Chains A and B, each alone.
Chain A
Amino acid sequence: DTGVSQDPRHKITKRGQNVTFRCDPISEHNRLYWYRQTLGQGPEFLTYFQNEAQLEKSRLLSDRFSAERPKGSFSTLEIQRTEQGDSAMYLCASSLGNAGELFFGEGSRLTVL
């Protein structure tokens, strides 16, 4: 399968723990996006990359959230000191350039106890 893959698909953690999600985009796609989706809501934009450059991070929800794409391929989204309000689906998408269709992964569901 050559689509966008995300790992893990599900993560259950205790409040205060750190979690990291990984996204592998479609191989030739240079743009990568992170979204968050809470129950009953549409996805909410968090941040995006063009190659390894993070073009915007002002929408990251707090300084506990950070994302990297060190070599312009896969990306990680880390949440430090998780809170119950962080429970959500974290979606990754990729596109070819700034006009290509966004392809979404199946998401990583986080449950914070």
Chain B
Amino acid sequence: AQSVTQLDSQVPVFEEAPVELRCNYSSSVSVYLFWYVQYPNQGLQLLLKYLSGSTLVKGINGFEAEFNKSQTSFHWRKPSVHISDTAEYFCAVSDRGDSWGKFQFGAGTQVVVTP
């Protein structure tokens, strides 16, 4: 069975400061890893995914996540946040193969950006 732990339930951060969201997972098999964002009253949006290859995955707005197999982690980082980054962020894991889409999500990290 899989499990996902997001180590921080809430992260307050000042605008233009860096932020890191931590995610650890446990699984007996190889997995795919994801980060999703959820804005209030909206559905989840995919930010990043790790399927294979380079362990450093980069997003389109300056954020990135790094897969560390030995530490079973997939931490997300952004070097400079904006007010608009205030949202809830979810880490998710999925077994490889036909189980695509059967995600195990973490409990989420609420990022609150203040001026």
Contact = CB atoms under 8 A, between A and B. Distances in A.
Contact of B102 (A41, A56, A91, A99): A56
B48 to A, nearest CB: 11
19 contacts: A4-B43, A41-B107, A42-B4, A42-B92, A42-B107, A43-B90, A44-B105, A45-B104, A48-B102, A55-B98, A56-B102, A93-B44, A98-B97, A99-B100, A102-B46, A104-B45, A105-B43, A106-B42, A106-B43
A40 interface: yes
Given A42-B105, A99-B100, 6 more contacts: A40-B108, A42-B90, A42-B108, A44-B105, A91-B43, A91-B44
B101 A40 contact: no
Contacts of B49: 101
Using C-beta atoms within 8 Å of the partner chain, give the interface range for chain A: 20 to 34
Interface residues of B, number: 22
